[in-house]
Amino acid sequence: MCLLYFFSVPSIQAHQLSTSYLNLEYNKDNAQYTGNWQIQISDLEQIVSFDLDEDKQVSWYEIKTKAPTINELVGNSIQLEQGTTPCPLVNIGDYKVDNHYNEAYLVIPVTFTCTSDAEVRITYSALFDIDDNHKAIINLNNASRVLSKSNPSQILNLEKPDYLTTFTQYTYQGVLHIWMGIDHVLFLITLLLTSVLVRNQDTWEANPTKLAIFKKTAWIITAFTLAHSITLTATALNIISFSSRWVELGIAFSVLLTAFNNVWPLILRLGWITFAFGLLHGMGFASVLSELGLSENFQLLSILAFNLGVELGQLAILAVALPLLIWARNFNWYKKWVMPLGSLAIAAVAVQWCIERF
């Protein structure tokens, strides 16, 4: 097999930061946890040097050559314990390759053997010494948990989660995603940059009243919220389905066009364009929710909770950014330099995303 994967380190990533996925199912007949660990190959390459011939390409042969090192990494990075008794890693299956957000992931089948049905503590440590922001999403029996450098260990309880646990977990994930989804954050910031200004005789001027600013901002945020809530829910419930590649590309274009519109405005009533672009962003949110997996028992609740988390994260960004922009709008340097140059900087980032996602 001669599959080649080309890797470059993008200066800015949007949705998919450094995230791995450990999917497990418990078999009570033999007290085994079976599943797979999926880790981005470019992340794995920071620990395991694949490119033996230094041609900046990683071949399937080079990955297989490093199998002993990878297997050792799996054993050192993922530990399951019942009390003080380890659940040994008894089998690592044949590797496969999958894609998340157009990034190549190595899929490593794993099997852990325990001694009983007692609760298990999982401890995860891969990449934390290299990347403080690395996360591992643990899926056990359709319940999701997140491990991070600050929270590397959790109890895996085989009991199905109740509605409150489900609501809390998915709300947290929604907040986390909007904060880590740089493209969503920049889209909101781009919209806010001109929310404190008004267009008068082909020039931007400070919006004189805070009430007018709040009304304009409320309309923009409401349009964005309504739009992405519609497509997030519809996509998560499989009512609609679009290629994630084109959705991500569309999101990048939404940031680019909105940034250009700040500098060379063609559309001054941003509510409708925000609604249209918000439909794309909702499908982007749904792709992350699909990676987490919907709660088996509380599917609708998990969608609503994730959406609520997105809104809470969005409001937190608004609470920080809007007062600063209201203060800055009265200074000439804001409308002359900060707003246009900031918009062009965001546009440059969006151009890079468009190239990477095409």
Q: Rounded to an integer, what distance in angstroms lies between the CA atom of residue 320 and that of residue 35?
A: 42
DSSP state of 229: H
List 57's β-bridge partners, or say none: 6
Instruction: Give just the sign of the alpha carbon dihedral 8, 10, 14, 20.
Output: positive
Question: Is beta strand 57-59 parallel, antiparallel or unpaired with respect to 78-82?
Answer: unpaired
Query: Per the structure block, which two tokens stand in for 299?
Result: 């599917």
Query: Which of 57, 22, 24, 23 is closest to 41 using CA atoms?
Result: 57
| Residue with token string 């740089």 | 182
Predicted confidence at residue 140, as pLDDT, reads 82
| Residue with token string 């910031």 | 189
Say how many Å lie between the first and final Cα of the chain, rounded: 26
DSSP state of 212: H
State which amino acid sits at residue 34: T
Element (H, E) at 85: strand 85-87
Element (H, E) at 120: strand 120-124
Predicted confidence at residue 101, as pLDDT, reads 59
Predicted confidence at residue 300, as pLDDT, reads 87
Predicted confidence at residue 293, as pLDDT, reads 67
The answer to whether the beta carbons of residues 42 and 158 sit under 8 Å apart is no
State which amino acid sits at residue 87: C
Predicted confidence at residue 34, as pLDDT, reads 95
How many Cβ atoms are within 10 Å of 279's Cβ, its own excluded? Answer: 20
Predicted confidence at residue 159, as pLDDT, reads 67
Q: Rounded to an integer, what distance in angstroms lies between the CA atom of residue 278 and that of residue 46?
A: 35
Q: Rounded to an integer, what distance in angstroms lies between the CA atom of residue 238 and that of residue 136?
A: 25
Predicted confidence at residue 160, as pLDDT, reads 64
Burial string for 123-155 (b: 16+ CB within 10 Å, else e) reads: ebbbbbeeeeebbbbbbbebbbbbbeeeeeebe
Question: What's this model's pTM, rounded to 2 decimal places?
Answer: 0.72
Cα→Cα distances 143→175, 226, 331, Å: 18, 27, 51
Query: Which of 166, 123, 113 is closest to 143 using CA atoms?
Result: 166
Predicted confidence at residue 296, as pLDDT, reads 63
Predicted confidence at residue 93, as pLDDT, reads 92
Predicted confidence at residue 225, as pLDDT, reads 92
Q: What is the pLDDT along the chain (358 residues), one digit of tens a residue?
A: 333 333 333 334 444 567 898 999 998 889 999 999 999 998 998 898 887 777 777 888 889 999 999 999 999 999 999 988 999 999 999 999 987 756 789 999 999 999 888 889 999 999 999 988 788 888 887 667 788 888 899 888 766 667 787 888 889 888 988 887 889 999 999 999 999 999 888 899 999 899 999 999 999 999 999 999 999 999 888 888 888 788 889 999 999 999 999 999 988 788 888 999 999 999 988 877 876 667 666 788 889 999 999 999 999 999 999 999 999 999 999 999 999 999 999 999 999 999 988 8
